[in-house]
Chain A
Amino acid sequence: MPSYEPDRLRPASYAGMTQKGQNAMAVIELKNLTYTYGEGTPFRRTAVDNVSLSIEKGELIGVIGHTGSGKSTLIQTLNGLLRPTSGQVLLNGKDIWAEPKKIRQVRFQVGMVFQYPEYQLFEETVIKDIAFGPGNMGLTPEETLERAKKAAAFVGLSEDFYEKSPFELSGGEKRRVAIAGVIAMDPDVLVLDEPTAGLDPRGRDVLLAQILSYHKVRGNTVLLVSHSMEDVARIADRILVMNSSHAAMFGPTREVFARGEELERMGLRVPQITKILASLRERGWPVGTALTLEEAVRELYPLLEKGGVRA
Protein backbone atom coordinates (compact mmCIF):
# COMPACT_ATOMS: atom_id res chain seq x y z
CA MET A 1 0.00 0.00 0.00
CA PRO A 2 2.20 2.76 -1.26
CA SER A 3 0.11 5.62 0.03
CA TYR A 4 0.87 4.94 3.68
CA GLU A 5 3.93 6.13 5.39
CA PRO A 6 5.02 2.80 6.83
CA ASP A 7 5.88 4.08 10.30
CA ARG A 8 2.46 5.62 10.83
CA LEU A 9 0.42 2.48 10.57
CA ARG A 10 0.94 -0.72 12.40
CA PRO A 11 0.74 -3.98 10.44
CA ALA A 12 -2.50 -4.79 12.24
CA SER A 13 -4.05 -1.85 10.41
CA TYR A 14 -3.71 -3.62 7.10
CA ALA A 15 -6.47 -6.02 7.99
CA GLY A 16 -7.60 -6.04 4.40
CA MET A 17 -4.24 -7.19 3.16
CA THR A 18 -3.03 -9.49 5.92
CA GLN A 19 -3.99 -12.97 7.02
CA LYS A 20 -7.70 -12.26 6.71
CA GLY A 21 -7.28 -10.60 3.37
CA GLN A 22 -5.56 -13.58 1.81
CA ASN A 23 -8.67 -15.72 1.68
CA ALA A 24 -11.58 -13.35 2.26
CA MET A 25 -12.35 -11.19 -0.75
CA ALA A 26 -12.26 -7.46 -0.25
CA VAL A 27 -15.58 -5.95 -1.28
CA ILE A 28 -14.01 -2.59 -1.98
CA GLU A 29 -10.43 -1.96 -2.80
CA LEU A 30 -8.92 1.41 -3.62
CA LYS A 31 -5.66 1.46 -5.51
CA ASN A 32 -3.72 4.73 -5.52
CA LEU A 33 -6.96 6.62 -5.77
CA THR A 34 -6.53 10.31 -6.59
CA TYR A 35 -9.23 12.84 -7.34
CA THR A 36 -8.52 16.37 -8.43
CA TYR A 37 -11.20 19.04 -8.83
CA GLY A 38 -10.89 21.49 -11.71
CA GLU A 39 -8.09 19.61 -13.44
CA GLY A 40 -6.51 21.89 -16.01
CA THR A 41 -7.80 25.13 -14.47
CA PRO A 42 -6.06 27.58 -12.13
CA PHE A 43 -8.38 26.36 -9.38
CA ARG A 44 -7.21 22.75 -9.39
CA ARG A 45 -7.32 21.16 -5.98
CA THR A 46 -6.50 17.58 -5.10
CA ALA A 47 -9.17 16.37 -2.70
CA VAL A 48 -8.07 12.75 -2.46
CA ASP A 49 -4.39 12.03 -2.86
CA ASN A 50 -3.12 8.55 -3.61
CA VAL A 51 -5.30 6.55 -1.23
CA SER A 52 -5.02 2.77 -1.17
CA LEU A 53 -7.02 0.57 1.16
CA SER A 54 -9.34 -2.37 1.20
CA ILE A 55 -12.59 -3.07 2.98
CA GLU A 56 -13.84 -6.56 3.83
CA LYS A 57 -17.31 -7.86 3.21
CA GLY A 58 -19.49 -7.37 6.29
CA GLU A 59 -17.39 -4.68 7.98
CA LEU A 60 -18.79 -1.52 9.52
CA ILE A 61 -16.32 1.24 8.81
CA GLY A 62 -16.41 4.65 10.44
CA VAL A 63 -15.04 7.47 8.30
CA ILE A 64 -13.90 10.58 10.15
CA GLY A 65 -12.05 13.74 9.20
CA HIS A 66 -12.82 17.44 9.38
CA THR A 67 -14.60 19.33 6.60
CA GLY A 68 -12.35 19.56 3.57
CA SER A 69 -10.28 16.51 4.53
CA GLY A 70 -11.43 14.70 1.39
CA LYS A 71 -13.82 12.23 2.96
CA SER A 72 -16.89 13.38 1.01
CA THR A 73 -14.97 13.19 -2.26
CA LEU A 74 -13.63 9.78 -1.37
CA ILE A 75 -17.05 8.27 -0.75
CA GLN A 76 -18.41 9.72 -3.98
CA THR A 77 -15.80 7.83 -5.97
CA LEU A 78 -17.03 4.55 -4.46
CA ASN A 79 -20.24 4.42 -6.50
CA GLY A 80 -18.88 6.20 -9.53
CA LEU A 81 -20.50 9.58 -8.95
CA LEU A 82 -17.00 10.95 -9.32
CA ARG A 83 -14.51 9.35 -11.66
CA PRO A 84 -11.00 9.12 -10.20
CA THR A 85 -8.39 11.32 -11.85
CA SER A 86 -6.04 8.39 -11.44
CA GLY A 87 -6.03 5.09 -9.62
CA GLN A 88 -8.77 2.51 -9.34
CA VAL A 89 -11.86 1.60 -7.38
CA LEU A 90 -12.36 -2.16 -7.33
CA LEU A 91 -15.76 -3.53 -6.39
CA ASN A 92 -15.65 -7.28 -5.71
CA GLY A 93 -12.33 -7.34 -7.52
CA LYS A 94 -13.51 -5.53 -10.65
CA ASP A 95 -12.63 -1.98 -11.70
CA ILE A 96 -15.93 -0.06 -11.63
CA TRP A 97 -14.81 2.05 -14.57
CA ALA A 98 -13.87 -0.95 -16.74
CA GLU A 99 -17.10 -0.36 -18.64
CA PRO A 100 -18.14 3.26 -18.10
CA LYS A 101 -21.52 2.60 -19.69
CA LYS A 102 -22.44 0.20 -16.93
CA ILE A 103 -21.70 2.63 -14.12
CA ARG A 104 -25.37 2.68 -13.15
CA GLN A 105 -25.10 -0.97 -12.13
CA VAL A 106 -22.38 0.05 -9.67
CA ARG A 107 -24.73 2.56 -8.07
CA PHE A 108 -27.16 -0.24 -7.26
CA GLN A 109 -24.39 -2.23 -5.61
CA VAL A 110 -22.93 0.67 -3.65
CA GLY A 111 -25.86 2.53 -2.10
CA MET A 112 -25.17 6.13 -1.14
CA VAL A 113 -27.14 8.10 1.42
CA PHE A 114 -26.16 11.74 1.22
CA GLN A 115 -26.24 14.32 3.99
CA TYR A 116 -29.79 15.54 4.65
CA PRO A 117 -31.21 12.88 2.28
CA GLU A 118 -34.78 13.98 3.05
CA TYR A 119 -34.31 16.79 0.53
CA GLN A 120 -34.33 14.27 -2.32
CA LEU A 121 -37.87 12.97 -1.70
CA PHE A 122 -40.22 13.70 -4.59
CA GLU A 123 -42.93 11.05 -5.00
CA GLU A 124 -46.58 11.34 -4.04
CA THR A 125 -46.43 8.56 -1.47
CA VAL A 126 -43.83 7.18 0.88
CA ILE A 127 -43.86 3.72 -0.68
CA LYS A 128 -43.52 5.07 -4.22
CA ASP A 129 -40.54 7.13 -3.18
CA ILE A 130 -38.82 4.18 -1.52
CA ALA A 131 -39.52 2.16 -4.69
CA PHE A 132 -37.80 4.69 -6.97
CA GLY A 133 -34.37 3.09 -6.61
CA PRO A 134 -35.38 -0.55 -7.12
CA GLY A 135 -37.74 0.63 -9.89
CA ASN A 136 -34.73 1.92 -11.81
CA MET A 137 -33.10 -1.52 -11.60
CA GLY A 138 -35.47 -3.11 -14.08
CA LEU A 139 -37.17 -5.39 -11.56
CA THR A 140 -40.79 -6.49 -11.91
CA PRO A 141 -43.31 -4.22 -10.18
CA GLU A 142 -43.99 -6.97 -7.62
CA GLU A 143 -40.33 -7.38 -6.77
CA THR A 144 -39.91 -3.62 -6.58
CA LEU A 145 -42.80 -3.28 -4.14
CA GLU A 146 -41.54 -6.22 -2.12
CA ARG A 147 -38.14 -4.61 -1.74
CA ALA A 148 -39.63 -1.25 -0.85
CA LYS A 149 -41.72 -2.81 1.89
CA LYS A 150 -38.78 -4.70 3.30
CA ALA A 151 -36.67 -1.54 3.34
CA ALA A 152 -39.45 0.40 5.04
CA ALA A 153 -39.56 -2.24 7.76
CA PHE A 154 -35.80 -1.94 8.32
CA VAL A 155 -36.12 1.73 9.19
CA GLY A 156 -39.21 1.16 11.32
CA LEU A 157 -41.83 2.61 8.98
CA SER A 158 -45.10 0.74 9.45
CA GLU A 159 -47.72 0.16 6.75
CA ASP A 160 -49.61 3.21 7.96
CA PHE A 161 -46.93 5.32 6.34
CA TYR A 162 -47.05 3.76 2.87
CA GLU A 163 -49.76 5.93 1.38
CA LYS A 164 -48.84 9.15 3.16
CA SER A 165 -47.15 11.98 1.30
CA PRO A 166 -43.48 12.14 2.27
CA PHE A 167 -43.85 15.90 2.63
CA GLU A 168 -46.26 15.68 5.55
CA LEU A 169 -43.90 13.65 7.74
CA SER A 170 -41.67 14.92 10.52
CA GLY A 171 -37.99 15.58 9.81
CA GLY A 172 -36.84 12.32 11.38
CA GLU A 173 -39.45 10.27 9.50
CA LYS A 174 -38.52 11.88 6.18
CA ARG A 175 -34.92 10.98 6.83
CA ARG A 176 -35.88 7.36 7.41
CA VAL A 177 -37.91 7.26 4.17
CA ALA A 178 -34.89 8.55 2.27
CA ILE A 179 -32.58 5.98 3.82
CA ALA A 180 -35.09 3.23 3.05
CA GLY A 181 -35.03 4.41 -0.57
CA VAL A 182 -31.38 3.46 -0.78
CA ILE A 183 -31.63 0.29 1.32
CA ALA A 184 -34.39 -0.85 -1.06
CA MET A 185 -31.84 -1.29 -3.83
CA ASP A 186 -30.34 -3.95 -1.57
CA PRO A 187 -26.76 -2.76 -2.08
CA ASP A 188 -23.72 -4.83 -1.06
CA VAL A 189 -22.16 -1.69 0.33
CA LEU A 190 -24.12 1.05 2.05
CA VAL A 191 -22.46 4.43 2.46
CA LEU A 192 -24.08 6.92 4.83
CA ASP A 193 -22.85 10.51 4.94
CA GLU A 194 -23.70 11.88 8.38
CA PRO A 195 -27.07 10.14 8.64
CA THR A 196 -27.81 11.63 12.06
CA ALA A 197 -26.90 15.26 11.31
CA GLY A 198 -29.46 17.67 12.73
CA LEU A 199 -31.48 15.00 14.55
CA ASP A 200 -32.25 15.26 18.25
CA PRO A 201 -30.73 12.70 20.65
CA ARG A 202 -33.79 10.47 20.51
CA GLY A 203 -33.96 10.47 16.70
CA ARG A 204 -30.23 9.89 16.51
CA ASP A 205 -30.27 6.87 18.83
CA VAL A 206 -33.22 5.28 17.03
CA LEU A 207 -31.66 5.74 13.60
CA LEU A 208 -28.25 4.42 14.65
CA ALA A 209 -29.88 1.34 16.18
CA GLN A 210 -31.79 0.74 12.94
CA ILE A 211 -28.67 1.07 10.82
CA LEU A 212 -26.84 -1.32 13.11
CA SER A 213 -29.59 -3.92 13.05
CA TYR A 214 -29.90 -3.63 9.28
CA HIS A 215 -26.17 -4.19 9.01
CA LYS A 216 -26.35 -7.27 11.24
CA VAL A 217 -29.38 -8.83 9.54
CA ARG A 218 -28.29 -8.12 5.99
CA GLY A 219 -24.62 -8.82 6.74
CA ASN A 220 -23.41 -6.26 4.23
CA THR A 221 -20.71 -3.65 4.38
CA VAL A 222 -21.51 -0.23 5.82
CA LEU A 223 -19.46 2.95 5.68
CA LEU A 224 -20.58 5.59 8.13
CA VAL A 225 -19.25 9.12 7.77
CA SER A 226 -19.74 11.04 10.99
CA HIS A 227 -18.59 14.01 13.00
CA SER A 228 -19.79 12.35 16.18
CA MET A 229 -16.91 10.39 17.65
CA GLU A 230 -19.22 8.95 20.30
CA ASP A 231 -21.45 7.41 17.61
CA VAL A 232 -18.54 6.04 15.61
CA ALA A 233 -16.90 4.60 18.73
CA ARG A 234 -20.10 2.78 19.60
CA ILE A 235 -20.65 0.95 16.33
CA ALA A 236 -17.63 0.89 14.00
CA ASP A 237 -15.32 -2.11 13.58
CA ARG A 238 -12.64 -0.09 11.93
CA ILE A 239 -12.06 3.60 11.40
CA LEU A 240 -10.68 5.45 8.42
CA VAL A 241 -9.26 8.85 9.29
CA MET A 242 -8.96 11.28 6.40
CA ASN A 243 -6.65 14.24 6.84
CA SER A 244 -5.62 16.78 4.19
CA SER A 245 -6.54 14.46 1.29
CA HIS A 246 -4.68 11.47 2.71
CA ALA A 247 -5.79 8.37 4.55
CA ALA A 248 -4.02 9.25 7.78
CA MET A 249 -5.08 6.17 9.74
CA PHE A 250 -7.08 3.06 9.02
CA GLY A 251 -7.41 0.51 11.77
CA PRO A 252 -9.55 -1.07 14.46
CA THR A 253 -11.63 1.49 16.32
CA ARG A 254 -9.85 0.94 19.61
CA GLU A 255 -6.40 1.40 18.09
CA VAL A 256 -7.39 4.57 16.27
CA PHE A 257 -8.94 6.19 19.33
CA ALA A 258 -5.93 5.19 21.42
CA ARG A 259 -4.03 7.76 19.34
CA GLY A 260 -5.95 10.71 20.75
CA GLU A 261 -3.11 13.20 20.57
CA GLU A 262 -2.48 12.58 16.88
CA LEU A 263 -6.19 12.92 16.20
CA GLU A 264 -6.31 16.19 18.09
CA ARG A 265 -3.48 17.51 15.98
CA MET A 266 -5.68 16.83 12.95
CA GLY A 267 -8.44 18.86 14.54
CA LEU A 268 -10.42 15.77 15.56
CA ARG A 269 -11.60 14.69 18.97
CA VAL A 270 -11.94 11.33 20.65
CA PRO A 271 -15.06 10.38 22.64
CA GLN A 272 -15.12 12.16 26.00
CA ILE A 273 -15.00 8.85 27.87
CA THR A 274 -11.91 7.78 25.90
CA LYS A 275 -10.26 11.06 26.74
CA ILE A 276 -10.98 10.71 30.45
CA LEU A 277 -9.32 7.30 30.61
CA ALA A 278 -6.42 8.46 28.47
CA SER A 279 -5.75 11.32 30.92
CA LEU A 280 -5.77 8.89 33.85
CA ARG A 281 -3.41 6.58 31.98
CA GLU A 282 -1.09 9.48 31.33
CA ARG A 283 -1.03 10.22 35.03
CA GLY A 284 0.08 6.68 35.75
CA TRP A 285 -3.03 4.61 36.46
CA PRO A 286 -3.12 1.29 34.62
CA VAL A 287 -6.30 1.71 32.61
CA GLY A 288 -6.87 0.67 29.00
CA THR A 289 -8.64 2.43 26.15
CA ALA A 290 -12.40 2.70 26.65
CA LEU A 291 -14.82 3.39 23.83
CA THR A 292 -18.04 3.21 25.82
CA LEU A 293 -19.25 3.98 29.29
CA GLU A 294 -19.52 0.29 30.15
CA GLU A 295 -15.92 -0.30 29.18
CA ALA A 296 -14.81 2.65 31.28
CA VAL A 297 -16.65 1.34 34.32
CA ARG A 298 -15.11 -2.09 33.76
CA GLU A 299 -11.63 -0.56 33.63
CA LEU A 300 -12.09 1.66 36.66
CA TYR A 301 -14.00 -0.66 38.97
CA PRO A 302 -11.09 -2.88 40.13
CA LEU A 303 -8.94 0.18 40.78
CA LEU A 304 -11.62 2.00 42.73
CA GLU A 305 -12.22 -1.16 44.77
CA LYS A 306 -8.55 -1.18 45.71
CA GLY A 307 -8.72 2.48 46.64
CA GLY A 308 -11.01 1.43 49.45
CA VAL A 309 -12.91 4.68 49.60
CA ARG A 310 -16.26 3.07 48.98
CA ALA A 311 -18.90 4.66 51.12
Chain B
Amino acid sequence: MSENGFISARDVVFAYEPEEGQAPRNVLEGVSMEIRRGEFVALLGHNGSGKSTMAKMFNAMLLPTGGKVFVEGMDTVDESIVFEIRRRVGLVLQNPDNQLVASVVEEDVAFGPENLGVPPEEIRRRVDEALRAVGMYDFRLNAPYKLSGGQKQRIAIAGIIAMEPDCIVLDEPTAMLDPQGRTEVLETIHRLNREKGITIVLITHYMDEAVQAGRVIVMDGGRILLTGSPREVFSQVELLKQHQLDVPQATELTHRLRGMGFPMPCTLTAEECVEALAAYLPPVK
Protein backbone atom coordinates (compact mmCIF):
# COMPACT_ATOMS: atom_id res chain seq x y z
CA MET B 1 0.00 0.00 0.00
CA SER B 2 0.99 3.60 -0.37
CA GLU B 3 3.00 5.05 2.44
CA ASN B 4 4.04 8.38 1.07
CA GLY B 5 1.38 9.19 -1.50
CA PHE B 6 -2.10 10.55 -0.86
CA ILE B 7 -2.85 9.39 -4.37
CA SER B 8 -0.65 6.70 -5.70
CA ALA B 9 -0.73 5.30 -9.24
CA ARG B 10 1.23 2.10 -9.97
CA ASP B 11 2.03 1.11 -13.56
CA VAL B 12 -1.37 2.24 -14.75
CA VAL B 13 -2.35 0.95 -18.18
CA PHE B 14 -5.58 1.98 -19.82
CA ALA B 15 -7.32 1.31 -23.12
CA TYR B 16 -10.82 2.38 -24.12
CA GLU B 17 -13.15 -0.29 -25.45
CA PRO B 18 -12.02 -0.68 -29.05
CA GLU B 19 -14.55 -0.10 -31.81
CA GLU B 20 -15.48 -3.14 -33.80
CA GLY B 21 -12.70 -4.41 -36.00
CA GLN B 22 -10.09 -2.20 -34.38
CA ALA B 23 -7.27 -3.23 -32.10
CA PRO B 24 -7.35 -1.70 -28.61
CA ARG B 25 -4.92 1.17 -28.25
CA ASN B 26 -3.41 2.04 -24.92
CA VAL B 27 -4.00 5.60 -23.79
CA LEU B 28 -1.83 5.03 -20.73
CA GLU B 29 1.19 2.80 -21.05
CA GLY B 30 2.30 2.14 -17.51
CA VAL B 31 2.17 5.40 -15.58
CA SER B 32 3.33 5.60 -11.98
CA MET B 33 3.04 8.72 -9.87
CA GLU B 34 2.58 9.80 -6.28
CA ILE B 35 0.61 12.88 -5.28
CA ARG B 36 1.44 13.94 -1.73
CA ARG B 37 -1.03 15.56 0.62
CA GLY B 38 -1.05 19.36 0.28
CA GLU B 39 0.91 19.39 -2.95
CA PHE B 40 0.20 21.58 -5.98
CA VAL B 41 0.98 19.48 -9.02
CA ALA B 42 0.64 20.59 -12.64
CA LEU B 43 0.07 17.82 -15.16
CA LEU B 44 1.20 18.98 -18.56
CA GLY B 45 0.90 17.52 -22.04
CA HIS B 46 -0.76 17.64 -25.44
CA ASN B 47 -4.27 16.49 -26.18
CA GLY B 48 -4.05 12.74 -26.39
CA SER B 49 -1.04 12.54 -24.08
CA GLY B 50 -3.17 10.69 -21.55
CA LYS B 51 -3.33 13.49 -18.98
CA SER B 52 -7.13 13.73 -18.92
CA THR B 53 -7.47 9.96 -18.74
CA MET B 54 -5.08 10.02 -15.79
CA ALA B 55 -7.24 12.66 -14.07
CA LYS B 56 -10.29 10.41 -14.28
CA MET B 57 -8.30 7.60 -12.65
CA PHE B 58 -7.81 9.69 -9.53
CA ASN B 59 -11.50 9.69 -8.57
CA ALA B 60 -12.51 6.31 -9.96
CA MET B 61 -14.38 7.73 -12.96
CA LEU B 62 -12.17 5.41 -14.97
CA LEU B 63 -10.56 2.23 -13.70
CA PRO B 64 -7.16 1.02 -14.85
CA THR B 65 -7.08 -1.96 -17.24
CA GLY B 66 -3.67 -2.73 -15.77
CA GLY B 67 -1.91 -1.54 -12.62
CA LYS B 68 -3.52 0.09 -9.58
CA VAL B 69 -4.61 3.47 -8.29
CA PHE B 70 -4.88 4.09 -4.55
CA VAL B 71 -6.49 7.06 -2.87
CA GLU B 72 -5.39 7.20 0.74
CA GLY B 73 -4.74 3.51 0.54
CA MET B 74 -8.17 2.75 -0.94
CA ASP B 75 -8.08 0.75 -4.16
CA THR B 76 -10.22 2.56 -6.77
CA VAL B 77 -11.54 -0.71 -8.23
CA ASP B 78 -13.39 -1.41 -4.98
CA GLU B 79 -16.95 -0.45 -5.96
CA SER B 80 -18.21 -0.28 -2.39
CA ILE B 81 -16.08 2.78 -1.59
CA VAL B 82 -16.44 4.68 -4.84
CA PHE B 83 -18.38 7.57 -3.26
CA GLU B 84 -15.90 7.73 -0.42
CA ILE B 85 -13.18 8.26 -3.05
CA ARG B 86 -15.16 10.79 -5.07
CA ARG B 87 -15.91 12.79 -1.97
CA ARG B 88 -12.20 13.00 -1.17
CA VAL B 89 -11.02 13.66 -4.72
CA GLY B 90 -13.22 16.16 -6.57
CA LEU B 91 -12.97 16.58 -10.33
CA VAL B 92 -13.58 19.91 -12.09
CA LEU B 93 -14.06 19.66 -15.85
CA GLN B 94 -13.15 21.89 -18.75
CA ASN B 95 -16.47 23.31 -19.91
CA PRO B 96 -17.93 25.55 -17.20
CA ASP B 97 -21.38 25.45 -18.82
CA ASN B 98 -21.79 21.70 -18.70
CA GLN B 99 -21.10 20.91 -15.06
CA LEU B 100 -23.61 23.08 -13.27
CA VAL B 101 -26.84 21.27 -12.44
CA ALA B 102 -29.17 23.81 -10.86
CA SER B 103 -30.54 27.16 -12.00
CA VAL B 104 -29.50 28.98 -8.84
CA VAL B 105 -25.87 29.20 -7.76
CA GLU B 106 -26.31 28.14 -4.12
CA GLU B 107 -28.53 25.24 -5.09
CA ASP B 108 -25.90 24.04 -7.49
CA VAL B 109 -23.19 24.19 -4.85
CA ALA B 110 -25.48 22.19 -2.55
CA PHE B 111 -25.80 19.37 -5.06
CA GLY B 112 -22.76 17.41 -3.85
CA PRO B 113 -23.52 17.53 -0.11
CA GLU B 114 -27.16 16.67 -0.89
CA ASN B 115 -26.01 13.53 -2.66
CA LEU B 116 -23.86 12.67 0.35
CA GLY B 117 -26.89 12.94 2.63
CA VAL B 118 -25.50 15.79 4.71
CA PRO B 119 -28.11 17.32 7.09
CA PRO B 120 -29.71 20.55 5.77
CA GLU B 121 -28.21 22.97 8.35
CA GLU B 122 -24.77 21.53 7.66
CA ILE B 123 -25.34 21.88 3.88
CA ARG B 124 -26.21 25.54 4.39
CA ARG B 125 -22.99 26.10 6.34
CA ARG B 126 -20.87 24.31 3.74
CA VAL B 127 -22.48 26.10 0.81
CA ASP B 128 -21.87 29.51 2.36
CA GLU B 129 -18.31 28.63 3.27
CA ALA B 130 -17.53 27.19 -0.16
CA LEU B 131 -18.95 30.23 -1.93
CA ARG B 132 -16.89 32.52 0.30
CA ALA B 133 -13.78 30.45 -0.40
CA VAL B 134 -14.09 31.08 -4.14
CA GLY B 135 -15.23 34.68 -3.71
CA MET B 136 -18.71 34.12 -5.13
CA TYR B 137 -20.85 34.50 -2.01
CA ASP B 138 -22.50 37.66 -3.32
CA PHE B 139 -23.69 35.75 -6.37
CA ARG B 140 -25.35 32.92 -4.42
CA LEU B 141 -28.85 33.72 -5.70
CA ASN B 142 -27.85 34.38 -9.31
CA ALA B 143 -28.59 32.19 -12.29
CA PRO B 144 -25.37 30.53 -13.51
CA TYR B 145 -25.97 31.29 -17.19
CA LYS B 146 -25.69 35.00 -16.50
CA LEU B 147 -22.18 34.68 -15.06
CA SER B 148 -18.86 34.90 -16.88
CA GLY B 149 -16.85 31.78 -17.70
CA GLY B 150 -14.41 32.40 -14.86
CA GLN B 151 -17.25 32.86 -12.39
CA LYS B 152 -19.00 29.69 -13.55
CA GLN B 153 -15.78 27.76 -13.15
CA ARG B 154 -15.41 29.12 -9.60
CA ILE B 155 -18.96 27.94 -8.86
CA ALA B 156 -17.98 24.50 -10.13
CA ILE B 157 -15.00 24.56 -7.76
CA ALA B 158 -17.27 25.65 -4.88
CA GLY B 159 -19.53 22.69 -5.69
CA ILE B 160 -16.56 20.40 -5.12
CA ILE B 161 -15.33 22.22 -1.99
CA ALA B 162 -18.76 21.81 -0.42
CA MET B 163 -18.07 18.06 -0.35
CA GLU B 164 -15.04 18.90 1.85
CA PRO B 165 -12.54 17.02 -0.30
CA ASP B 166 -8.86 16.53 0.43
CA CYS B 167 -7.89 16.96 -3.18
CA ILE B 168 -9.26 18.74 -6.25
CA VAL B 169 -8.29 17.57 -9.71
CA LEU B 170 -8.96 20.16 -12.41
CA ASP B 171 -9.03 18.97 -16.02
CA GLU B 172 -8.04 21.98 -18.14
CA PRO B 173 -10.28 24.32 -16.14
CA THR B 174 -8.97 27.41 -17.93
CA ALA B 175 -8.92 26.18 -21.54
CA MET B 176 -12.19 27.89 -22.43
CA LEU B 177 -11.68 31.07 -20.40
CA ASP B 178 -10.44 34.53 -21.29
CA PRO B 179 -7.29 35.86 -19.56
CA GLN B 180 -9.27 37.45 -16.75
CA GLY B 181 -11.21 34.24 -16.10
CA ARG B 182 -7.96 32.28 -16.11
CA THR B 183 -6.45 34.58 -13.51
CA GLU B 184 -9.55 34.31 -11.29
CA VAL B 185 -9.52 30.53 -11.38
CA LEU B 186 -5.78 30.24 -10.81
CA GLU B 187 -5.81 32.64 -7.89
CA THR B 188 -8.69 30.70 -6.39
CA ILE B 189 -7.02 27.30 -6.55
CA HIS B 190 -3.71 28.65 -5.27
CA ARG B 191 -5.52 30.17 -2.32
CA LEU B 192 -7.36 26.92 -1.58
CA ASN B 193 -4.06 25.09 -1.66
CA ARG B 194 -2.32 27.62 0.59
CA GLU B 195 -5.06 28.37 3.09
CA LYS B 196 -7.05 25.17 3.29
CA GLY B 197 -4.23 22.80 2.48
CA ILE B 198 -6.26 21.19 -0.30
CA THR B 199 -4.14 19.09 -2.63
CA ILE B 200 -4.39 20.40 -6.19
CA VAL B 201 -3.75 18.52 -9.42
CA LEU B 202 -4.00 21.03 -12.27
CA ILE B 203 -4.14 19.62 -15.77
CA THR B 204 -3.26 22.25 -18.33
CA HIS B 205 -1.37 23.04 -21.46
CA TYR B 206 -0.59 26.58 -20.44
CA MET B 207 3.05 26.76 -19.40
CA ASP B 208 2.63 29.93 -17.36
CA GLU B 209 0.17 28.03 -15.15
CA ALA B 210 2.58 25.16 -14.69
CA VAL B 211 5.38 27.54 -13.70
CA GLN B 212 3.43 28.50 -10.56
CA ALA B 213 2.99 24.88 -9.42
CA GLY B 214 5.03 23.14 -6.76
CA ARG B 215 5.78 20.23 -9.02
CA VAL B 216 5.31 19.57 -12.72
CA ILE B 217 4.67 16.25 -14.41
CA VAL B 218 4.90 16.23 -18.21
CA MET B 219 3.11 13.44 -20.06
CA ASP B 220 3.49 12.45 -23.67
CA GLY B 221 2.15 9.47 -25.57
CA GLY B 222 0.67 7.85 -22.46
CA ARG B 223 3.92 8.00 -20.51
CA ILE B 224 5.61 10.34 -18.11
CA LEU B 225 8.19 12.37 -19.96
CA LEU B 226 9.53 14.55 -17.17
CA THR B 227 8.82 15.25 -13.55
CA GLY B 228 10.28 17.68 -11.05
CA SER B 229 10.11 21.27 -9.85
CA PRO B 230 9.10 23.80 -12.52
CA ARG B 231 12.72 24.87 -12.78
CA GLU B 232 13.98 21.34 -13.25
CA VAL B 233 11.36 20.60 -15.88
CA PHE B 234 11.58 23.82 -17.87
CA SER B 235 15.35 23.75 -17.93
CA GLN B 236 14.91 20.82 -20.36
CA VAL B 237 14.10 23.25 -23.15
CA GLU B 238 15.40 20.99 -25.95
CA LEU B 239 13.43 17.96 -24.81
CA LEU B 240 10.20 19.96 -24.42
CA LYS B 241 10.64 21.55 -27.83
CA GLN B 242 11.23 18.15 -29.39
CA HIS B 243 7.81 17.17 -28.11
CA GLN B 244 6.36 20.45 -29.43
CA LEU B 245 5.57 21.66 -25.94
CA ASP B 246 5.78 25.32 -25.02
CA VAL B 247 8.37 26.89 -22.79
CA PRO B 248 7.87 30.35 -21.24
CA GLN B 249 9.55 32.99 -23.41
CA ALA B 250 11.71 34.07 -20.47
CA THR B 251 13.02 30.52 -20.06
CA GLU B 252 13.68 30.20 -23.76
CA LEU B 253 15.53 33.50 -23.93
CA THR B 254 17.96 32.66 -21.14
CA HIS B 255 18.35 29.18 -22.58
CA ARG B 256 19.16 30.59 -26.03
CA LEU B 257 21.71 33.02 -24.59
CA ARG B 258 23.27 30.25 -22.53
CA GLY B 259 23.71 28.30 -25.76
CA MET B 260 25.60 31.29 -27.17
CA GLY B 261 28.06 31.06 -24.31
CA PHE B 262 26.62 33.55 -21.83
CA PRO B 263 26.41 32.01 -18.33
CA MET B 264 22.69 32.55 -17.76
CA PRO B 265 20.65 30.76 -15.11
CA CYS B 266 17.36 29.09 -15.99
CA THR B 267 14.61 31.67 -15.49
CA LEU B 268 10.88 31.05 -15.34
CA THR B 269 9.25 34.49 -15.17
CA ALA B 270 9.75 37.89 -16.79
CA GLU B 271 11.00 39.34 -13.49
CA GLU B 272 13.59 36.61 -12.98
CA CYS B 273 14.74 36.98 -16.55
CA VAL B 274 15.16 40.75 -16.24
CA GLU B 275 17.23 40.30 -13.05
CA ALA B 276 19.39 37.64 -14.66
CA LEU B 277 20.05 39.83 -17.69
CA ALA B 278 20.68 42.92 -15.57
CA ALA B 279 23.42 41.02 -13.75
CA TYR B 280 25.23 40.24 -16.99
CA LEU B 281 24.69 43.37 -19.05
CA PRO B 282 27.36 46.06 -18.93
CA PRO B 283 26.50 48.75 -16.39
CA VAL B 284 24.35 51.60 -17.65
CA LYS B 285 26.40 54.74 -18.27
Contact = CB atoms under 8 A, between A and B. Distances in A.
B135 interface: no
A300 B270 contact: no
B278 interface: yes
A297 B257 contact: yes
Contacts of A171: 47
A310 to B, nearest CB: 5
Contacts of B245: 201-202
B176 A297 contact: no
Contacts of B281: 280, 285, 300, 303-304, 307
Interface in B230-251: 244-246, 248-250
B175 A67 contact: no
B61 interface: no
B143 interface: no
Q: Which residue of A201, A227, A283, A296 has the most chain B CB atoms within 10 A of its CB atom?
A: A201
Q: Which residue of B179, B277, B278 has the most chain A CB atoms within 10 A of its CB atom?
A: B277
A170 B48 CA distance: 10
A293 B253 contact: yes
Given A200-B47, A311-B262, A283 B249 contact: no
B205 A276 contact: no
Interface residues of A, number: 40
Interface in B181-214: 181, 205
Interface residues of B, number: 35
Given A293-B249, A310-B262, A311-B263, A203 B47 contact: yes
Contact of A273 (B46, B148, B249, B262): B249
A262 interface: no
A283 B285 CA distance: 11
A217 interface: no
B57 to A, nearest CB: 20
B282 interface: yes
18 contacts: A66-B180, A67-B180, A170-B47, A170-B48, A200-B46, A200-B205, A202-B245, A205-B244, A267-B180, A271-B249, A272-B248, A273-B250, A276-B250, A276-B273, A276-B274, A280-B274, A285-B281, A309-B280
Interface of A: 66-67, 170-172, 197-203, 205, 227, 230, 267, 269, 271-273, 275-276, 279-280, 283-285, 293, 296-297, 300-301, 303-304, 306-311
